[in-house]
Structure 1
Amino acid sequence: MLRNLLFGGAALAVLAGAAFWFLTRPEGIGSSALAAVGPGDATRGERIFWAGGCASCHARPEAEGERLLELSGGLELETAFGTFVAPNISPDPAQGIGEWDESVFVNAMLHGVSPEGKHYYPAFPYPSYARMETQDVLDLFAYLKTLPPAAEETAPHRLSFPYTMRRGIGLWKLIYMHEEPLVELPADAPEAVLRGRYLVEGPGHCGECHTPRSFAGGLQFERWLAGAPALEGDGRVPNITPSSAGIGSWSVADITYYLESGFTPDFDSVGGEMVAVQKNMARLPEEDRAAIAAYLKAVPEVEGE
C-alpha cells in the first residue's frame, strides 16, 4: 500500500512538473510569420519611439538633447523585487541589438522573449507593448537601427531568489498579459478615442506606473489608471481617470496642453518622473496628444489612489 502511495505521489509530481514546464515555456514567432507585414519604416518608427518613451529608460542616465538617442542603457530601477538595469538597445553589434533580426525584436516587444528563448522580466513593459501592432514594432526597429551605436556593456540585474527563476514568469504572463484592449469602448467611439486607447494602453504603457499592482507585481486592471505607489522609492503616481480624485476637472484641451507644455490648468508644472514622459509626449504630433486626452476622458472613473 505504502509503495503504491509513493509511486502515485511520484507520478503526480512528475506530471505537475511537466505541466509547469509546458505552461511556462517562452512562446514567440518565427521569421515566416512576418511575411505578411510590410517592411519597417524609420520615419514612422520615430513617432513610436517617442510615444513609447524608449529614451527615458535606455538612454544614458541624465542624458539630454541629442545624447538621448545614444541608447547605451545603464539606468537602474530599484524595486521591491530587486534592481533591474535597463539594457543597451543601440545598434552596436556586441553590446546592443545590432545583430538582432526583425523576428527577434518582435518577440522581445510583443512576447517578452529574449533571443536566447528566455522570459524577460516585466520591468521591461512588454505586457503593454503586447497590445501594439506588429507594423509599429517593425517601424520602431527600423528607426532604432538609424541611431548611433554605443559600445557600453550594462551591468546585470541584481535580484535574489526566487526572482532569479525566470521560468516562473511564464505563469505570470498567463495571468497578467492581455493582448486585447483593456477598456471596452462603444462601437461608435470617435477615432481619436480609439487612437488614444492604443497609445495609452500600448506603446505609451501609461498603466505601468498609474495603475496599482498586486503582490506579484501584475496590474490590478479593475483599478486601471487609478494611481499607485511609485515603483521606485517613496511617493505616489497620481490617479488620471476622469474622477474627482483624478483629472475629472481637466478638459481634453487641458490634458492636451499639459502633454505639450508641462503646465497644468492650475498653473502648476510637471514634476518627478513625469518630466521625461511629458518631454516625450511633446515630440508627438498634436493629434496624438489630443487622442490621448480624449481617451483619458473616456476611461471608467475610479475614486481614490
Structure 2
Amino acid sequence: MKKPGLLLVLLLVTAAGGWFSLPLLATFPELQLTTGTGNVSRGAYLARASGCIACHTDSKGAGAALAGGAPMETAFGTFYPPNLTRDVETGIGGWNLEQFATALRHGRSPSGKPYYPAFPYEFYTRLSDQDIADLWAAFQTVPPVAQDSPEHQLEFPFNLRRGVYLWQSLYFEAQRFTPQSDKDERYNRGKFLVESATHCAACHSPRNRLGALDDSALYSGGDVADADDGKIPPITATALTEAGWSEVDLGYALKTGVKADGDVFGGSMAEVVREGTAYLQQRDLNAIAYYLLNRSDRPAKPL
C-alpha cells in the first residue's frame, strides 16, 4: 500500500476509535439514592416549579398532561419534549426510580444514551434524593398516554447524539445543591429554586456556540431572541435594582405575570408564569426575589 493510502487508513482508524470512545469521556459514579419513599404533593409542587408541566405538555395544542410538549425551536434545530406519562411503550412506564434519577442527575437515558442539554439536567443534578423520590411519586399518579414524540430535527453535526458525550465531558458536572453557610434560610431557599428547580440561568444567561452557559456572565441576559420581548433581559441584582424592581414587586410579578408598572410579561416568560411560578407559594416566590436581588453579580463558580 502506498504511503498516502496507509496514512488515510490510519487517520480513519484513529477517527473511528475516537468516535466510538466518546462515551468514556463523560463517566459518572454509580448512582445510589438514600430514600425510596416519595411525597406525591411535594413532588407535584416541585414538578410545577421545575417546569416539567410547562415543557412536557402541549398546552396550546390541548395535549394531555406530560404526554409530550410543543416543539422547541433553537439555534441547533427543533427539539420535541418527550412523553413523561406512565405509558410503557412511549413514556416512562418501564422505568424505575434509579433510572429516573440517572436522567435527572447524569443526563442519561436507561439505555445509557446522553440527553441533549435542552433537557436542563445541568440544573436538576442539584436536586436531593428526596426531591427526586417526590417527583417520581408524583409522576406515578399521571395517567398513561400512548403518544410518541417526533424525532428531534437538528442540524449537522448536532444530530449526532454521540457528540453529546463530549459536550458533557467539557461542560457538565454532576453535583448536589449546597446551601451557603453564611446566609439565612430565605436566601438559601431562593438560591435552590433559582439555581436548580426553576433554572433561571437557562434562559437569562448567554451561551457559547455549543450551547454551554457562559459562567462569567450568569444572569446577564439571554442571547436568544424572544418572539415577543426581543432579547431575554438580565436578572442580576444590579440590573433588577436599576430597573426598579423590589422584592415585593418581583414576587408579585412571578405570581401574576403583572409588573409593577401594570404591564405584563410577554413571550416565554408569560408561559413560565402561567405554567409554573403561578402555582408556587408566595413565600417561595419572595425567596426567589430576595435571592436575585441580593446575590453577588461577580462571576460565580459554574452552575
Asked if 2 retains the 8 angstrom alpha-carbon contact of 1:24 and 1:169, the reply is no
TM-score (norm: length of structure 2): 0.85
Work out the CA distance in 1 between the residues paired with 2:179 and 2:35.
Answer: 27
| Letter aligned with residue 79 of structure 1 | T
Matches within 5 A, 1:261-300: 261-279=256-274, 280-300=276-296
Q: What is the match of residue 214 of structure 1?
A: 208
| Letter aligned with residue 129 of structure 1 | Y
Matches within 5 A, 1:102-117: 102-117=97-112
Work out the CA distance in 2 between the residues paired with 1:74 and 1:186.
Answer: 35
| Letter aligned with residue 212 of structure 2 | G
Matches within 5 A, 1:93-172: 93-172=88-167
Asked if 2 retains the 8 angstrom alpha-carbon contact of 1:88 and 1:153, the reply is yes
**1:189 and 2:187 correspond:** no
Aligned mate of 1:45, from 40, 43, 46: 43
Q: Please, which runs of 5 or more residues in structure 2 have no aligned partner? A: 299-303
Distance 1:231-1:118 versus aligned 2 partners, 3 A rule: farther
Range 70-79 or range 139-148, more displaced: 70-79
Work out the CA distance in 1 between the residues paired with 2:20 and 2:221.
Answer: 36
Q: Please, which runs of 5 or more residues in structure 1 have no aligned partner? A: none
**1:253 and 2:248 correspond:** yes
Asked if 2 retains the 8 angstrom alpha-carbon contact of 1:27 and 1:113, the reply is no
Deviations 1:73-106 (A, max 9, x none): 1411111111111101111222111111001100
| Letter aligned with residue 40 of structure 2 | A
| Letter aligned with residue 87 of structure 2 | D
Deviations 1:32-74 (A, max 9, x none): x12x22412111101111110111111124167xx6x621114
Deviations 1:8-27 (A, max 9, x none): x77x9489728953543554
Asked if 1 retains the 8 angstrom alpha-carbon contact of 2:252 and 2:258, the reply is yes
Where has structure 1 moved over 6 Å in runs of 4 or more?
A: none
Percent sequence identity over aligned pairs? 37
Root-mean-square deviation (CA, aligned residues, Å) is 3.0
Asked if 1 retains the 8 angstrom alpha-carbon contact of 2:103 and 2:121, the reply is yes
Work out the CA distance in 2 between the residues paired with 1:95 and 1:15.
Answer: 32
Work out the CA distance in 1 between the residues paired with 2:29 and 2:206.
Answer: 28
Matches within 5 A, 1:20-59: 20-21=21-22, 23-25=24-26, 27=28, 29=30, 33-34=32-33, 36-59=34-57
1:164 positional shift: 2.1
Work out the CA distance in 2 between the residues paired with 1:27 and 1:267.
Answer: 48
